[in-house]
Structure 1
Amino acid sequence: MTAPTPPAPFAAPTLPTPLAEIRLVDPGTGPSGAALVRLCRAGDDAGAPSDAPSGWVPSPGAVAALAPDQGAGRWLVGAGAASSKDWRGAGAAAVRVASGRSDPGELFGAGDEGVARLHVVPDDGVSPDWDALATGLLLGSHRFSVRSSAPAPPPRVTVEVPADQRPAVERALVLAGATATARDLADSPSGAKSPEWFAEQALAALAAADGVGAVVRDEHWLAEQGFGGVLAVGGGSSRPPRFLELTWEPPGAGTHVVLVGKGITFDTGGISIKPNAGMADMRTDCSGGAAVVGALAAVAALGLPVRVTGLVPLAENHVSGSAYRPGDVVRHYDGRTTEVTNTDAEGRMVLADALGYAVATLAPDVVVDVATLTGAMKVALGVRTGGLFATTDDLAADLTGAGESTGEAWWRVPLAAGHDEDVDSRLADVRQAPPGPGGIVAALFLRRFVGDVPWAHLDIAGPARCDAPHEEVAKGATGFAARTLVEFCAARASW
């Protein structure tokens, strides 16, 4: 499906961002003419190879080019103590440096087409974490850009992988692809990224996901159905809101998982306007919705035998004469009313509608929402760990485990009962932004809209964006949570 042309003069990216072409081969059968990348590790029983430059240590992501007399395009890449994180970093470093994508990178093994060709092998006695390595190789090649010049083509990477490890590697590449899709949608500049544009790009990203149904609802449908939160938040923009509903229902699927992702395509803060510092990063305020789109694509690609519905309420929180105001009372889909106290707390307004819709119409067995929701959670947990709230211990454990298996860290935060009454409003049913610990009271607000359905809330305000690249994570939108959501759905498939 062709996305609508954005209004001039805004430049839209060409999506999807090209990724490395990765081919798996049997050990000892690598191609000729490709740059050789050897993976090394540190530790008591392993150290720098004998041909390494003097003083080089195979610390995580460390790269060394061998001397010219040892053959052009021969690289050593360190994996440190060989944790999963170290292997993701090693894979990303190998792709970035040996393909000329990072300083002091130099393009090697390229043919006439100018594509870097890499051949990756573990050093003698080294057994990689193959899943983590594959994740790093693919995501290390992701380089989002809206430049006028064509970016360098991504590398072609051949990896020597034992046959018994290939299914796991291929699966890891699918999950990494979900992260890349989420990065693309979240990082796209907001001048082009209206709610409509996001929805159309999501449909394009899912075009190859056989079996995924998709419906985009407009502002007229939202008004008819009573999505007061989405309409209030989107009312200040000249670009109306949208509601994206994605469905994956393979034959025989039992458990129904509903994933809800915040889709604020840009957030000025509304009348409660944000300071200028950091506002440019608000193009990534749709990171939760982007993660849901990426996850649905991966769920379908893996053919998981579980029913999954993805809901993404899309709106632009802008400033105008039609913007919603502090002191307004908004009626949500489920009839509940909210007293608005801060128009910059817009994410919970759109999520409240989507959660109420899910519970009332979809009969879910479990609901998980994901959102760049509160600056408080970024302050509490930093930029590499997501906040996790859950109504049951089992649900919290499942999500934490899904994150651990994919390299995404979560920390459970309590739904502190002592603050629950803070959500009550004198004027309406609930207060939008009550006093108290910001991340906790925001989660308690959302819990009012899920009834008795098992529910978890993932606050990714910190790890959704990155200012300093690390391991497989690039600067900009990170795609955080997409892999966790896929693994969570995969675990539910066994129920």
Structure 2
Amino acid sequence: MTELRTVEFADVDLDTLAGAAGRLVLFVPGAGTIGTAARRVNRLTKGAVARAVESEAFGKLSEGEALVLGWPAGLAAEAVEIVKLERRADTVSLRKAGAGIAKRAAGATLTVLAEGQKAPEEIALGLVLRSWAFTKRKETPSDTPGKAVFMVKEVAAAQAAWVDAGALAAGVCFTRDLVSEPANVLTTTEFAAQLEALRDLGVEVEVLDEPEMEKLGMRALLGVGQGSESPSKVVTMRWKGGEGAPLALIGKGVVFDTGGISLKPGAGMEDMTMDMGGAGVVAGVMKALALRKAKANVTGMVGLVENMPDGRAQRPGDIVASMKGDTIEVINTDAEGRLVLADVLWHAQQAEQPAAMVDLATLTGACIIALGHENAAVFANDDGFAKDFLKAAETEGEGAWRMPLGKAYDDLIKSMKADIKNTGGRPAGSITAAAFLQKFVAEDMPWIHLDIAGVAQTPGETALAPKGATGWGVLALDRLVRMKFEG
């Protein structure tokens, strides 16, 4: 895993500010009232902080933006950042402020004067998430970012709060690392091994290999991977921290997707290393839950396959039997993720008897056409469950938008030769994919499908991440667990 920026919390020590190395960071609300530590920095810099705060430039800043005083006289620090931030800013604003600090600071050591902030751990979370970078495959990896010391009024309380926030940071960054790895490194076997390592955190892990899946009747999943040298696997992760039936999180883990016989165009195919993003999110959530010792029962289950063209590969026109028993006409071998999820969804219901299910997949390009890179598509068979997730996503600042389901869309995936076909064509592509998945969900099972094709990996930076893998979904699903499944 990428080494993350170290966060520490310490008592406010004004006498150390003059000699602090790296960058000093202080927060000033829009009204311009500076706190005790900021007043000390102001005196050391002979009034430079006050002049900056009183300036027209500071007044024009948006919340979370900063004025930077470079190489200030009277300090050893290379810069002082004056961040505009209200003392009672919401969680999303605090994290964005922390991310802004990270972006401006690069790898510098930081002393953050946070004595007036109600939730310094949230600023630290944003700081750590924006400091992440995937560089371990470079000949000369980037240096680990310097330590960030937060000076706070109540050290013990901040340290306790950081246990949960730090767990989230580790989970998000685990997801980002998995999504960023190339497929020649993150094979199905290596992916399973990394998930098995979660046993060290107290997660129960079980791995099904191809002969075991064959016995269970998972021909829809196995058909996708039959053209690859990498063996298909299903990995089940169980975190048992509560009582009652678990929440089941299901992830599509296609480590590389050429489209199979329905070969994708060459341009951009290298990005298909991220087609396991759903499984990556499930892995990140399970890690976060284990690290923070969540008082909930949650099962994560992922189908790990590779979709390649080969003499043994599945063909358009093939008909396969799912674990449920329904037969599927394969119209397009590039619509493979739903075949994987069909069997994993059914297996999760049979083996785990969950209270509810959420599946995640980088499933359709149509989702990106509809929602761009701002929102994941949310499909659900239960209005209350959908509302709960959307509230969780909004609380965590992760974009999500509910999309429709209905009989008219179901009709588009009827097959003349089998019970169902795996694509309904271009119209409503993301919706018919969700309609396909719904066929493998029991009618009385609360279920959400999240199409994360547009948000798992973005072409530009986001508020909390550089360009590339985002880890979208870890924060929202952890919040859903806290809200609805944690005692």
Q: TM-score with structure 2 length normalisation?
A: 0.88
**Residues 274-293 of structure 1 mapped to structure 2, 5 A cutoff:** 274-293=264-283
**Residues 79-478 of structure 1 mapped to structure 2, 5 A cutoff:** 79=84, 84-100=91-107, 116-122=108-114, 127=117, 130-145=120-135, 146-163=137-154, 164=157, 166-204=159-197, 206-209=198-201, 211-250=202-241, 253-435=243-425, 436-452=427-443, 453-478=445-470
Q: Does 2:13 correspond to 1:25?
A: no
Deviations 1:466-492 (A, max 9, x none): 221132112211111112222212223
Aligned twin of 1:50: 50
Deviations 1:262-304 (A, max 9, x none): 1010111111111222211111111110111111111122222
What amino acid is aligned across from residue 91 of structure 1 in structure 2?
Answer: G
Structure 2 distance, partners of 1:332, 1:460, is 24
Aligned twin of 2:68: 64
| Cα distance change of structure 1 residues 349 and 161 upon mapping to structure 2, 3 Å threshold | farther
Structure 2 distance, partners of 1:44, 1:424, is 62
Deviations 1:340-387 (A, max 9, x none): 111111110100000011112221110110111111111111112111
> What is the number of residues matched between the two proteins?
460
RMSD, matched Cα: 2.4
Q: Is the CA contact 1:121–1:160 (under 8 Å) kept in the aligned structure 2?
A: yes
Structure 1 distance, partners of 2:326, 2:74, is 71
Higher helix share: 2
CA apart distance, 1:323: 1.3
Structure 1 distance, partners of 2:114, 2:370, is 39
CA apart distance, 1:196: 0.7
| Cα distance change of structure 1 residues 387 and 132 upon mapping to structure 2, 3 Å threshold | farther
Structure 2 distance, partners of 1:142, 1:221, is 38
Deviations 1:147-189 (A, max 9, x none): 1114202221111234355544432221121110000111101
Q: Is the CA contact 1:85–1:471 (under 8 Å) kept in the aligned structure 2?
A: no
Deviations 1:91-118 (A, max 9, x none): 1232343244xxxxxxxxxxxxxxx431
| Unmatched segments (≥5 aa) in structure 1 | 1-15, 101-115
Structure 2 distance, partners of 1:228, 1:461, is 25
| Sequence identity (%) | 36
Q: Is the CA contact 1:40–1:49 (under 8 Å) kept in the aligned structure 2?
A: no
Structure 2 distance, partners of 1:267, 1:38, is 45
| Cα distance change of structure 1 residues 37 and 468 upon mapping to structure 2, 3 Å threshold | farther
CA apart distance, 1:128: 6.1
Structure 1 distance, partners of 2:471, 2:339, is 23
Structure 2 distance, partners of 1:194, 1:372, is 18
Structure 2 distance, partners of 1:337, 1:485, is 32
CA apart distance, 1:119: 0.9
| Cα distance change of structure 1 residues 62 and 276 upon mapping to structure 2, 3 Å threshold | farther
SS in 2 for 1:254: coil
Q: TM-score with structure 1 length normalisation?
A: 0.86
Q: Is the CA contact 1:95–1:155 (under 8 Å) kept in the aligned structure 2?
A: no
Deviations 1:193-238 (A, max 9, x none): 211111112223x2441x2111222222222222112211111111
CA apart distance, 1:44: 5.7
Structure 2 distance, partners of 1:122, 1:78, is 11
CA apart distance, 1:21: 0.9
Aligned twin of 1:108: none
Q: Which has the higher mean CA deviation after the structures are superposed, 91-100 or 439-448?
A: 91-100
Q: Which has the higher mean CA deviation after the structures are superposed, 75-84 or 456-465?
A: 75-84
CA apart distance, 1:423: 2.3
Aligned twin of 1:76: 81
CA apart distance, 1:447: 0.5
Structure 2 distance, partners of 1:131, 1:22, is 9
Larger radius of gyration: 2
Q: Is the CA contact 1:79–1:87 (under 8 Å) kept in the aligned structure 2?
A: no
| Cα distance change of structure 1 residues 360 and 172 upon mapping to structure 2, 3 Å threshold | same
What amino acid is aligned across from residue 95 of structure 1 in structure 2?
Answer: A
Q: Which has the higher mean CA deviation after the structures are superposed, 59-68 or 309-318?
A: 59-68
Q: Which has the higher mean CA deviation after the structures are superposed, 364-373 or 171-180?
A: 171-180
CA apart distance, 1:493: 2.8
CA apart distance, 1:461: 0.5
SS in 1 for 2:478: helix
What amino acid is aligned across from residue 186 of structure 2 in structure 1?
Answer: K
What amino acid is aligned across from residue 138 of structure 2 in structure 1?
Answer: R
What amino acid is aligned across from residue 185 of structure 1 in structure 2?
Answer: L
Structure 2 distance, partners of 1:129, 1:121, is 13
